[in-house]
Structure 1
Amino acid sequence: MLQSRDGVPLDYVRQLNALALRPDLAVLVTAYPGILEDRLRARGAHYRFEHDGSSRVEAGMYDDLADVLAEDGFPIWRVDTGDDAWPDPAVPAPGPGYADDLYCLPSGHLELGETIVDCAVREAREEVGVAIDPTDLRPATVVHYLSPEGRPRLGVFFATDRWHGEPYNAEPAKCGGLAWPRVDELLDNTVPYTAAGVELYRSGVSIGLHGWPELVGATA
């Protein structure tokens, strides 16, 4: 969050942290901005960004950070210190994850130094426990996506009909279960971005847009 205040791009921060050990749980401690302002005035500033009115900005940034971490697959526990009752640390209390109660294809972000093909192979292994030969992957489509929060993303979809191993839920802490719907009968609670990519693939469209204010179809 401090890097954001200094104007450091999010992608650069992700690259810096790509080789770091992933925590089992990310804990975000926050409170209503008005409560934070009262505490700030009572104790005084501790660093250069703290001043009257800064708490609302920081609380919003922490909310954005929680969304980014959830999208990156980190389990989040948001602790509201404005509440009188603190959560019992002995009881697991994970916060909302990315796309809770929605279905999505095995997917994820590129790691530092990784190709998109390597990423697809790794994510399939990590999320559904199968091994895919990179030469068995074929390009399906590309989606240029704009999230509701205004963050653009380029999603590269692959298809294959060959893999080794029986698919299973390899990340039960992050995923509630697997389903095998037909590509022309996706479940209603499919991530919209995923559904858009599948529909482009079915239609033979190699690149498309999703989530932008003015959708202009593109083919290649």
Structure 2
Amino acid sequence: MPSGKLDQGEPLTAGAARELFEETDVQVEPEHLKLRHVVHHRQEDGSERIGFFFEATQWKGTPTNKEPEKCLTLQWFTDHDLPEDIIEYPGAGLFGCLGRTGVLTQYGW
């Protein structure tokens, strides 16, 4: 899933829209991003992050892998046939968005 970090002084939805475009060439206006899930994640090394997962309700463009050095491929899956090798942190957000865990996941605590 597209992801990234906010720039200094950047609103959350503007950063999410920017990262989506930078990584996939899909354009979305920040007001068309609906917050679906939050993950508070602690990694094995003890570092922590909070991830916000959005649904784009309107967008323009065709998804393209603009970062092939970081992403092997872009691919669509049905929610009942997801790959087994999903990275844990974004997987927790995806499963949360699919309504399997509520609005907040605390992962690695």
What's the TM-score, normalizing by structure 2? 0.90
The answer (yes or no) to whether the contact 1:142–1:156 under 8 Å persists in 2 is: yes
Is 1:199 the counterpart of 2:95? The answer is yes
Q: Measure, in 2, the Cα distance between the counterparts of 1:146 and 1:194.
A: 13
- The structure where helix makes up a greater share of residues is 1
1:180 to 76, 83, 93: 76
Residue 183 (structure 1) shift:
2.8
Q: Does structure 1 conserve the Cα–Cα contact (< 8 Å) formed by 2:96 and 2:105?
A: yes
Higher percent of residues as strand: 2
Aligned residues: 108
* Structure whose CA Rg is larger: 1
Q: CA RMSD in A?
A: 1.4
- Cα deviation, 1:114-166, whole Å, max 9, x if unaligned, reads 11101110111000011001111101010100011111111111012421011
Structure 2 CA distance for aligned equivalents of residues 196 and 183 of structure 1: 13
Normalising by structure 1, we get a TM-score of 0.47
Q: What one-letter code is carried by the residue in structure 2 that aligns with 1:206?
A: V
- Name structure 1 gaps, 5 residues minimum: 1-104, 213-220
Q: Which runs of 5+ in 2 are unaligned?
A: none
Asked whether 1:121 is paired with 2:17, we answer yes
Deviations 1:95-118 (A, max 9, x none): xxxxxxxxxx10011111111101
Are the counterparts in 2 of residues 146 and 153 from structure 1 also a CA contact under 8 Å? yes
